[in-house]
Structure 1
Amino acid sequence: MKKTIKEQKSVLIILLSNIFIAFLGIGLIIPVMPSFMNIMHLSGKTMGYLVAIFAVAQLLMSPLAGRWVDRYGRKKIIIIGLFLFGVSELIFGLGTNVSVLYLSRILGGFSAAFIMPGVTAYVADITSVRERPKAMGYISAAISTGFIIGPGIGGFIAEYGIRMPFYFAAAIAFLACILSIFILKEPLTKEQLAEISANTKQTNFISDLKRSLSPLYFIAFMIVFVLAFGLSAYETVFSLFSDHKFGFAPKDIAVIITISSIFGVIVQVFLFGKMVDKLGEKKIIQLCLVIGSILAAASTLISSFLAVLVVTSFIFLAFDLLRPALTTFLSKAAGKEQGFVAGMNSTYTSLGNIVGPTIGGILFDVNIHYPYLFAAVIMVIGFGITVMWKEKQLVESLAK
């Protein structure tokens, strides 16, 4: 019988810290991106490409990382991911031209492809089906907490130099890597890993992708794609939009993101498990898509700081609840193939993160309102997809 969450608190803390650190690094740079954009004379399109290239790298590596999680173990993949993340942040901080920034973002994408499925599969291994929604909620809360502390720390550290936040992110990533080496233990035995690996060793990226395209898989993974698409299109231009339209300083942007993230974390930690029990994953996903689309469109009409703060808080909350609801459902249905499903989850997330920022950045150069309207339309399409989603059929398919 698996131990309860309380009985393995130290392991969960390390796992959550690893996810937290990865997203702290992302959060650190959000307030300084408009300044970075102005100093290096980058267009909205280039900023979109820098986000998209991260996702391209994550996309290419995710299927491999998903299989390696099942073959070589969760711990090794997590450690490699943290090391790569530290290197990528260090390179970005040292970069003085766009080509170096692209190299950094590619390594960052590789690191995300390792960390996310590694941690998700590890948590799924050590938690019972009953406690898994709570654990996945904690993962999402750790992601949001990275955004909470990240912008605030980033805005403060940037006072000592615009590149300092990147060096700080690199330092804590290397620290997390070292701690994980000594504290984490592989949750599966060599025999269990060998059994899972033997069942999936004939697969490759193409076969994994084809498998994910079967009608029952495809609906769920398309929702993953739409979520990432809409979220990345919105988030990529948020700081640029706030800077260009309202003249918000890095400090103002940090305050909005921090308060929004705190709100999201409180709801996730204290209410997400109860919401899943009462509504189920599908209804939560549908509700969040509807709310997100309405508020994304409303973002183009507001002007005051308070209005931006309120609307942004609820948009981020919708996205924060969408992520664990979908991840929980997929992890429940995945059985022993946590690596494959987590890898495909990451793959479709990457696809959305490629297209969303690219189009968002291009649209931003045309009209600063268009990326938000575009994100709203995509979320409406996502809602339409969920109407076709049959949970029982998908669970049965994944359980085979």
Structure 2
Amino acid sequence: MLTVMIDAMGIGLIIPVMPDLIQEVGGGTLAQAAIWGGIMSTTFAVMQFLFGPVMGGLSDRFGRRPVLLIALVVMALDYVLMALASALWVLLLGRIIGGITAATQSTATAYMADISAPHERAARFGLVGAAFGAGFVIGPVVGGLLAEYGTRAPFWVAAGLASGNALLGWIVLKETVTDETRRSFNWRRANPLGALRALGRLPGVTPLLLVYFIYHVGFAVYPAVWPYFGKARFDWTPSTIGLSLALFGISMALIQGGLIRPVLKALGERGTVIAGHLFSIASLIGIAVVTSSTWVLVLTPLAAFGGIIPPALQGIMSARVADDAQGELQGALTSASALAMILSPLVMTYTFAQFTDADAPIYLPGAPFLLAATLSTLGLAAILIGTRRGS
């Protein structure tokens, strides 16, 4: 759980300082920095997508302990590299390495399965998700506060966290893969594109998978653009950016952890998906056009209400497939969300750059949020049509 939390903290720690750091290293305008930020975010997501199954396969062959510990050591060295970076290509290299080392969530989840009885696994997998959420909330706050000591300070602290966790793991972490459970590494099983084949084999849920994908593309506007948007529209400092991201993360946790149950009971799965889209559309448009930072912070928890969409959609799709296809469905959903996180940063930061550059036809830092609202509208139309006769 500490490993997963530090993975998430490492991502969140650096978000508030990235606009300033990219400009410091590469020069250029905020619009150009946003494009580079999108490229780095996409690179990170691609590496996670490609190496998640590889890390899991390696841990089946060589054990969970060496994979986790080596990844933590490399992660610490990667943060040192980024702290010392003096060129954009070094930052990009750091994101490539960081994406690979952060792919160990699959190994941490496998470790949790190893040490849990079958009836305990679902709840303990939830603990892994909670650890990731906690790290992503804590990371931006700490990163924003550390930015007061310079744009490199969050990287040094992240390196220290990874090193400390590696030392702790070396002392206390026991190997859970035995000779009976060990299996050889197979590149075919490590193919991250394998789950995508499931899309064609689940025709009853294909339109809903499209809605799921559209949601994640729009949702990714927040981590992709928020620090650049806050700096351009409100001249926010890194600490304010970090606190605002934490507000969004806490709101998401409260909504998905507590509010989702009464909403599902009151509205049903289809009604919950529709309500989530309506809240998303309204809040995204509001964030795009308001000029008061106070109102943007008021709208942030409302925007997080869209977090009720994925679990409700999963419920609808799960009911539409056979019991022996549930794993196949979850694999397809994982692939869809991963691909969305690869695509969205490029699209959203490019849109931001087009509307904040000196030659922009209209200065509108909130343009990516209008694009996300448009995507949510398409998703709403698809859910209304696709579930008309269903739940």
Asked if TM exceeds 0.5, the reply is: yes
- Structure 2 CA distance for aligned equivalents of residues 371 and 138 of structure 1: 33
Equivalent AA in structure 1 for residue 370 of structure 2: L
Please give the per-residue CA displacement for 1:113-168, whole angstroms capped at 9, x wherever unaligned: 222x2334455663766883x55554444333223322222122222221010111
- Structure 2 CA distance for aligned equivalents of residues 184 and 334 of structure 1: 38
Tell whether the 8 Å contact from 1:124 to 1:338 is kept in structure 2 after alignment. Answer: no
Equivalent AA in structure 2 for residue 379 of structure 1: S
Equivalent AA in structure 2 for residue 155 of structure 1: G
1:1-400 aligned at under 5 Å gives the runs 15=1, 17-40=2-25, 41-42=27-28, 43=32, 44-68=34-58, 77-115=67-105, 117-123=106-112, 126=116, 132=122, 135=124, 138-185=127-174, 190-192=179-181, 194=183, 204-205=191-192, 207-215=194-202, 222=210, 225-272=213-260, 284=272, 286-319=274-307, 321=308, 346-367=334-355, 368-384=365-381, 388=386
| 1:255–1:234 CA distance, 2 compared to 1 (3 A) | closer
Tell whether the 8 Å contact from 1:260 to 1:317 is kept in structure 2 after alignment. Answer: no
Equivalent AA in structure 2 for residue 35 of structure 1: D
Tell whether the 8 Å contact from 2:279 to 2:305 is kept in structure 1 after alignment. Answer: no
> Looking at both structures, which has the greater relative contact order when contacts are Cα pairs under 8 Å and sequence separation is at least 6?
1
Structure with higher Rg: it is 2
Equivalent AA in structure 1 for residue 343 of structure 2: V
| 1:105–1:298 CA distance, 2 compared to 1 (3 A) | same
Please give the per-residue CA displacement for 1:240-283, whole angstroms capped at 9, x wherever unaligned: 11111111222222232233333333444444566667777776
- Structure 2 CA distance for aligned equivalents of residues 168 and 119 of structure 1: 22
Tell whether the 8 Å contact from 2:9 to 2:135 is kept in structure 1 after alignment. Answer: yes
Equivalent AA in structure 1 for residue 104 of structure 2: F
| 1:107–1:51 CA distance, 2 compared to 1 (3 A) | same
Equivalent AA in structure 1 for residue 287 of structure 2: S
Equivalent AA in structure 1 for residue 160 of structure 2: A
Q: Structure 2 length normalisation: TM-score?
A: 0.77
Q: How many residues align?
A: 371
- Structure 2 CA distance for aligned equivalents of residues 129 and 277 of structure 1: 25
Give how far 1:313 is off: 2.3
Please give the per-residue CA displacement for 1:7-34, whole angstroms capped at 9, x wherever unaligned: xxxxxxxx2x222211211221222222
Give the gaps of 5 or more residues in structure 1: 1-14, 393-400
Q: Structure 1 length normalisation: TM-score?
A: 0.75
| 1:326–1:144 CA distance, 2 compared to 1 (3 A) | farther
| 1:64–1:90 CA distance, 2 compared to 1 (3 A) | same
Q: Which stretch shows the higher mean deviation, 28-37 or 61-70? A: 61-70
Q: Which stretch shows the higher mean deviation, 242-251 or 256-265? A: 256-265
The DSSP-based 3-state class of the residue aligned with 1:237 is helix
Give how far 1:307 is off: 0.9
Note the aligned Cα RMSD (angstroms): 4.1
- Structure 1 CA distance for aligned equivalents of residues 276 and 253 of structure 2: 15
Equivalent AA in structure 2 for residue 64 of structure 1: V
Give the gaps of 5 or more residues in structure 2: 356-364
Identity %: 28
The DSSP-based 3-state class of the residue aligned with 1:32 is helix
| 1:169–1:323 CA distance, 2 compared to 1 (3 A) | farther
Q: Which residue of 2 aligns with 1:4?
A: none
- Structure 2 CA distance for aligned equivalents of residues 68 and 335 of structure 1: 29
- Structure 2 CA distance for aligned equivalents of residues 385 and 120 of structure 1: 33
Tell whether the 8 Å contact from 2:247 to 2:300 is kept in structure 1 after alignment. Answer: no
- Structure 1 CA distance for aligned equivalents of residues 10 and 190 of structure 2: 33
| 1:91–1:335 CA distance, 2 compared to 1 (3 A) | farther
